[in-house]
């Protein structure tokens, strides 16, 4: 992001409690102080302090009250979805799809345009900026910034499209974050498309996807990992580049120079008009990932998956049932993303929301 606010230890504790309360509230149901105290493992007095802070900032509001016998009625609280919003942009090698989302990650408006990578970086930045400006006119609430999800590999710290066999040639080394920041004068965050998608799915379903893998089948095959509640980046920001793991020795030649990569096998099967084989390739990849990192949820998304979702889900469930037959304790649920074409754009918007109001990973103490 453009500017990082200086925060002391006490600010961090307060921020962590605010984030934890917002995560409970994002589940949708109005909540009472006692329920929040239970969920956050702090006293009801501490909850009052946190609520006061969030209500003052317009993030939470009272939502009526109820009586369960004699005494004071219990006040309920809920999140204010329209208090904040963020823009998310999903860039592919042929088009740009943008959304503006509210504080809960719900899409308020969308806008799409075509992109030609051959035109290079200035044209790319121009298209991103124009779409962001168009979307900034929609929806209520304070606009927090712009998230960009693009094909990898991407360095999210520097906001740079990295140089690799799978990166788009004309964009290699482009400092997308800094260039867009200069155009827009608002915070900008850039990340790998599948990571953005997983952040978005987790944001809208707090707690459900703490150990999960999201597999994205768009123009290529990618994945993102969230383990013990944390999105994994890896030493070179390439964690989850599962498309280039080999599933067939001596198989189909791949862009990366090897043979039998999951991505090459998957795309070849689709090109041959064999979605069932493609689904089995995807299922093999997913089972390998589940075996490697031990997750309990697998989320599938991307245009190729949506186009063949029945056969894909079937192959995946069968592969997991077969592959984990001897593992009584391992239960893995397969979910299809419900966001459709908005998956990555909404995810990129949620990354901005998460940056501002997400749970910090550092250990925090009790609210004083």
Residue 261 makes contact with Zn ion by CB under 5 A: yes
Name the segment binding Zn ion (CB under 5 A); options: 37-45, 49-57, 101-109, 236-244.
Answer: 236-244
Min dist. Cβ of residue 252 to Zn ion (A):
9
Min dist. Cβ of residue 254 to Zn ion (A):
3
Site residues for Zn ion, window 106-165 (CB under 5 A)?
A: none
Nearer to Zn ion, 78 or 248 (CB): 248
Distance between CA atoms of residues 224 and 215, nearest Å: 7
Nearer to Zn ion, 64 or 234 (CB): 234
- Cβ contact 304:274 at 8 Å: no
Between 12 and 41, how does the x/- string for binding to Zn ion read (CB under 5 A)? Answer: ------------------------------
Residue 254 makes contact with Zn ion by CB under 5 A: yes
Nearer to Zn ion, 42 or 261 (CB): 261
Residue 256 makes contact with Zn ion by CB under 5 A: yes
Name the segment binding Zn ion (CB under 5 A); options: 86-94, 226-234, 257-265, 275-283.
Answer: 257-265
DSSP state of 162: -
* Among the listed residues 123, 57, 69, the one whose alpha carbon sits nearest the alpha carbon of residue 96: 123
The residues, ordered by sequence, that sit 6+ positions from 300 with a Cβ below 8 Å of its Cβ are 214, 215, 217, 309, 312, 313, 316, 334, 335, 336, 337
Min dist. Cβ of residue 157 to Zn ion (A):
25
Min dist. Cβ of residue 224 to Zn ion (A):
18
Beta bridge pairs of residue 14: none
CA atoms within 13 A on the CB side of 364: 22
Nearer to Zn ion, 91 or 254 (CB): 254
Min dist. Cβ of residue 260 to Zn ion (A):
8
Task: State the residue for tokens 């093999």.
Answer: 284
Distance between CA atoms of residues 344 and 180, nearest Å: 18
Name the segment binding Zn ion (CB under 5 A); options: 227-235, 259-267, 315-323, 329-337.
Answer: 259-267
Min dist. Cβ of residue 268 to Zn ion (A):
12
Nearer to Zn ion, 83 or 268 (CB): 268
Min dist. Cβ of residue 244 to Zn ion (A):
4
Min dist. Cβ of residue 193 to Zn ion (A):
17
Residue 246 makes contact with Zn ion by CB under 5 A: no
Count of positions on this chain that bind Zn ion (CB under 5 A): 4
**Backbone region of residue 250 per phi and psi (left: phi > 0; alpha: psi in -120 to 50; beta: other values):** left
Tell me the backbone φ, ψ of residue 5, rounded to 5 degrees: -70, 140
DSSP state of 147: E
DSSP state of 140: S
Min dist. Cβ of residue 246 to Zn ion (A):
8
Name the maximum alpha-carbon separation found in the chain: 75
Nearer to Zn ion, 134 or 219 (CB): 219
Residue 346 makes contact with Zn ion by CB under 5 A: no
Name the segment binding Zn ion (CB under 5 A); options: 111-119, 135-143, 240-248, 318-326.
Answer: 240-248
- Cβ contact 146:188 at 8 Å: yes
Distance between CA atoms of residues 24 and 95, nearest Å: 35
Sign of the four-CA dihedral 50, 54, 57, 62: negative
- Give the binding site for Zn ion (CB under 5 A): 244, 254, 256, 261
């Amino acid at each position: 992001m453009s500017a990082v606010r200086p925060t002391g230890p006490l600010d961090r504790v307060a921020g962590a409690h605010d984030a934890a309360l917002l995560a409970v509230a994002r589940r949708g149901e109005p909540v009472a102080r006692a329920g929040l105290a239970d969920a956050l493992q702090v006293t009801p007095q501490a909850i009052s302090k946190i609520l006061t802070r969030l209500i003052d900032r317009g993030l939470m509001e009272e939502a009526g009250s109820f009586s369960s016998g004699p005494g004071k009625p219990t006040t309920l609280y809920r999140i204010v979805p329209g208090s904040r919003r963020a823009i998310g942009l999903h860039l592919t090698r042929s088009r740009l799809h943008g959304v503006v989302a509210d504080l809960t990650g719900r899409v308020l408006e969308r806008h799409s345009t075509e992109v030609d990578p051959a035109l290079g970086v200035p044209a790319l930045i121009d298209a991103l900026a124009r779409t962001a400006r168009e979307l900034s006119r929609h929806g209520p609430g304070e606009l927090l910034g712009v998230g960009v999800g693009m094909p990898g590999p991407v360095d999210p710290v520097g906001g740079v499209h990295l140089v690799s066999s799978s990166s788009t040639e004309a964009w290699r080394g482009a400092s997308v974050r800094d260039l867009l920041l200069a155009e827009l004068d608002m915070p900008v965050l850039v990340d790998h498309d599948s990571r953005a998608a997983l952040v978005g799915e987790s944001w809208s379903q707090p707690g459900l996807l703490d150990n999960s893998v999201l597999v994205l089948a768009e123009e290529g095959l990618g994945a993102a990992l969230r383990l013990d509640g944390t999105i994994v980046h890896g030493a070179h920001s390439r964690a989850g580049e599962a498309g280039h793991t080999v599933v067939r020795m001596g198989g189909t030649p791949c862009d990366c120079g090897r043979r039998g990569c999951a991505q090459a096998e998957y795309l070849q099967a689709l090109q041959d008009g064999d979605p069932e084989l493609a689904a089995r390739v995807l299922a093999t990849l997913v089972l390998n990932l589940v075996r490697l990192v031990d997750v309990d949820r697998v989320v599938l998304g991307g245009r190729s998956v949506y186009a063949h979702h029945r056969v894909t889900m079937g192959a995946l469930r069968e592969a997991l049932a077969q592959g984990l037959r001897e593992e009584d304790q391992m239960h893995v649920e397969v979910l299809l993303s419900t966001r459709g074409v908005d998956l990555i754009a909404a995810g990129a918007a949620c990354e901005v929301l998460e940056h501002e109001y997400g749970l910090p990973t550092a250990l925090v103490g009790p609210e004083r």
